[in-house]
Structure 1
Amino acid sequence: MLVAIYHPQAKRAAALGDAVEAAGMAAQLLPPHTNDLRPWIDSCFDLLLINPFLDWQEPFDFVRLAVSIVGRRPLIVVSDRDSLDERMVALDAGAADAVGWTDNLPEVVARVAGLLRRSRIAAGQLGEGELRIDLIDRRVERAGRLIRLPLREYDLLTNLARVPDHPVSRDALLRAVWRIDFDPGTNRVEVHMSRLRAKVDRGFDWPMLHTVKGMGYALRSRPE
């Protein structure tokens, strides 16, 4: 996932970019929009992050301009001050989220990741890191490689992908995939998870699917 970033202060822009990349996403630093909007319009980013409060332009107008560029993609506005007024300007102008930060990079990155996840679900997509799941075409890819899955394995994967890096219990998977509200005393979950691992993990550099002892199964978005 590519996050495009504009901050009028180069050091702050670089700090945001480094934090985004440390979280496993790609970052692209945009040049000032006053010189040429073409790099903003032509960039194939998945989310735009801007600070509109330190330029000559009126912040409300700047955010409205950014909204017109992103289309259906999410826009998050950051302010270098913890200012309710500035956050309200951004939200009133149409930003999907707004956050004040000084050195609180973890919160900014968490909000970016949350917006990306919600926007992909709204667009009919799931997946983290190398994994891409198209919920409309029922297409699964890992690192650009197509993975063909039968229905049960596809349903298992999508349920795990909805909550990446968090374990899902065996009982929850029985309810979600097989519509069973009791333990049938069989190993159907284990069998299908084994088959799913063979297709999603085998031949790749690191395993995404993990058994979490006493808790269930989890899809990891990055190597441990």
Structure 2
Amino acid sequence: MGESGGRAATGPPPLVAIHHPHGDRARTLAAAVAAAGFGTMLLPPFAGAASDWRDGCFDCLVLDPFGGTQPPRELILLARGIAARRPLLILSDRDSRADRMLALGAGADDAVGWAENPIEVVARIASLVRRSRLAAGQLGAGELRIDLIDRRVERAGRLIRLPLREFDLLANLARVPGRPVSRETLLKAVWRIDFDPGTNRVEVHMSRLRARIDRGFAWPMLHTVKGRGYALRTRPGELA
């Protein structure tokens, strides 16, 4: 059973799996999450639909275990095992310290009493997904995805193959999006050179990187900032 948030032309958004024992509340929350730019999928009760939970390729699992027939702690432990290394957020319709403590004690990454106000829930989902991606060795925002472990780069869902030096240049710029990084800083970070060798190696590799990252797309990500170095912007017009 699924429901999809707006899938933008900039690539697939993070997918949030949601279960609430009351369908109307599940749909209210899913609408708010989708409006924030996430994809959503609504999970049915676990009993009789275990495969829907186990096979979902979601990025975050959001669950209210307190209003169904299954004991809350048992369901949270089950969800923790299914989510594995992905973030698990537990909701309660009550602003109850006991509910939050039970959830955190059973392995949830975060817990909140939302009382039909989804704004805080959406903010917590965004924070959990962001921290999860950083922990998994991922950088980037908007159209850009950089996997530091597999050294994989995607823009708008398109795989971009980069040689070693160009990948390292992009990763260093992506750590401070919108801010210029000097030529000297890049020489030290990418080539481990503490002095200016008097060559144009940075310029040459940046030119090659720009061709791979920007060519064929609607707007440029890589920019030369006169007197300050190079900068990566992850959205049109976003440059410090």
Q: TM-score, normalised by structure 1?
A: 0.78
**1:101 counterpart (114, 124, 140):** 114
The two structures, once aligned, show a CA RMSD in angstroms of 3.4
1:168 equivalent in structure 2 = 179
- Quote the offset at 1:117 in angstroms: 2.5
- Quote the offset at 1:20 in angstroms: 2.4
User: In the comparison of the two structures, how many residue pairs are matched?
Assistant: 222
1:217 equivalent in structure 2 = 231
Q: Secondary structure at the match of 1:53?
A: coil
- Quote the offset at 1:2 in angstroms: 1.2
Distance 1:222-1:109 versus aligned 2 partners, 3 A rule: farther
Is 1:159–1:173's contact at 8 Å kept on the other side of the alignment? no
- Quote the offset at 1:66 in angstroms: 0.6
Distance 1:183-1:32 versus aligned 2 partners, 3 A rule: farther
Q: TM-score, normalised by structure 2?
A: 0.73
**1:86 counterpart (81, 89, 99):** 99
Per-residue CA distance 1:99-157 (angstroms, 9 max, x = gap): 22235534322322222233233333333344332222312122342212233432232
- Quote the offset at 1:43 in angstroms: 1.2
Q: Secondary structure at the match of 2:91?
A: strand
Which residues of structure 1 form unaligned runs of 5+? none
- Quote the offset at 1:63 in angstroms: 0.6
- What is the percent sequence identity of the aligned residues? 63
Structure 2 CA distance, aligned partners of 1:162 and 1:15? 35
Is 1:197–1:209's contact at 8 Å kept on the other side of the alignment? yes
Is 1:24–1:129's contact at 8 Å kept on the other side of the alignment? no
Per-residue CA distance 1:195-221 (angstroms, 9 max, x = gap): 434322321245445679999734326
Q: Larger C-alpha radius of gyration, 1 or 2?
A: 2
Is 2:143–2:234's contact at 8 Å kept on the other side of the alignment? no
Is 1:168–1:215's contact at 8 Å kept on the other side of the alignment? no
Is 1:133–1:139's contact at 8 Å kept on the other side of the alignment? yes
Structure 1 CA distance, aligned partners of 2:192 and 2:123? 33
Instruction: State the AA in 2 paired with 1:79.
Output: S
Instruction: State the AA in 2 paired with 1:167.
Output: G
Distance 1:51-1:223 versus aligned 2 partners, 3 A rule: farther
- Quote the offset at 1:88 in angstroms: 1.1
Which residues of structure 2 form unaligned runs of 5+? 1-13
2:38 equivalent in structure 1 = 25
